[in-house]
Structure 1
Amino acid sequence: MTTTPATTDRELVLTRLIDAPREKLYRCWTEPALMKRWFAPKPYETPVVEVNVRPGGANLIVMRGPDGQDMPNRGIYLEVVPNERLVFTDAFTEAWQPSAKPFMTVILTFEPQGAKTLYTARVRHWTVEDREAHEKMGFHQGWGICTDQLAALAATL
């Protein structure tokens, strides 16, 4: 794992050099059938993935815990640059409706490094308290496990 410093006290960052071209990682982030295979840290599952990958397009991703509890996550894509960058937030739900409690904006970048990709997930929170809560939820461990799953899947494409 590569360390990339946060730029603010409300940001968490995960960076990895992944042995796959960025086009494959981007597909894993934008194709529902692929997202279902890696998005949640095992033993969690992702039974529902609905994405409209375009600026202003909505997404719904449901993670299911081992106890069967569903955790729906709705959001909107703010920026989409195929194979380079995805930016989305939970501050809005479908059709630009404000969410009940905005929590984060995610900035994903896919930078080519030869045949590999420097993958960076920058997660910006509305407040320091939200960032601290996300850290306590296990951001680095959970997102790290998911990134391992993402890398393993991308290597098979």
Structure 2
Amino acid sequence: MTDVVFNPLLDLELKREVAVPPGLVWRAWTEPELLMKWFTPAPWRTTACEIDLRPGGKFRTVMEGPNGERNDSTGCFLAVEPERRLVFTDALGPGFRPTGGGFMTATVTIEPAAGGTLYTAVALHKDEAAKKQHEEMGFHHGWSAALDQLVALVKGL
């Protein structure tokens, strides 16, 4: 899979250097027991996670909110480049089976940097309305808070 071309009309991006090694960021994204501890910004929690780390493999998370809200999302990985990049979507399920819906495709890039890791997350949307919906859901705050939680977690490993 080629690199994603960012379209500011359709896409959202979080790019930050974090003071943890790339290998630990990779582990946090690819080990279900670690991902469940940081993936959803508090006070939400990730209560279940399944990862089949290969193209076409399942990526499922269950997120639960403080008032009983529940979001069960199943998608698949499109690309897996160990310790460098993950691409996943909810538009396709395991084995690349169409789901009939889907909200986004995401790319997480992990690059070595002088201070640790240059972390880039890009969320691709089908149209401007979907991008706006994701922004209004709190993409920038939520993904940034989740990244802070990831950093705090892996510093303790």
Same fold (TM over 0.5): yes
* 1:101 counterpart SS class: coil
Q: CA offset at residue 69 of structure 1?
A: 2.5
1:121 is displaced (CA, Å) by 0.1
Is this contact kept in 2: 1:90–1:102, CA < 8 A?
yes
- Output one character per residue of 1:35-55: Cα deviation in whole Å (capped at 9) or x when no partner: 110000101111100110111
* Higher mean C-alpha displacement, 18-27 vs 64-73: 64-73
Structure 2 residue 74 is the aligned partner of structure 1 residue 74: yes
| Deviation of 1:115 (Å) | 4.9
Residue in 2 that maps onto 1:15 = 15
Give matches, 1:101-140, under 5 Å: 101-140=101-140
Identify unmatched segments of 5+ residues in structure 1. 1-5
Aligned residue number for residue 152 of structure 2: 152
Give unmatched runs, 5+ long, in structure 2. 1-5
In the alignment, which residue of structure 2 is the partner of 1:61?
61
Task: Report the aligned-residue RMSD.
Answer: 1.1
Amino acid of the structure 2 residue aligned with 1:57: G
Partner AA of 1:38 in structure 2: W
1:102 and 1:126 in contact (8 A); partners too? no
Which one-letter code corresponds to 1:135 in the other structure?
A: E
Q: How many residues align?
A: 152
Deviation at residue 132 of structure 1 after TM alignment:
0.7
Q: Percent identity?
A: 41
SS in 1 for 2:53: coil
CA contact (8 A) 1:89 1:104 kept: yes
Partners of 2:118 and 2:149 in 1: CA distance: 16
Match of 1:3 in 2: none
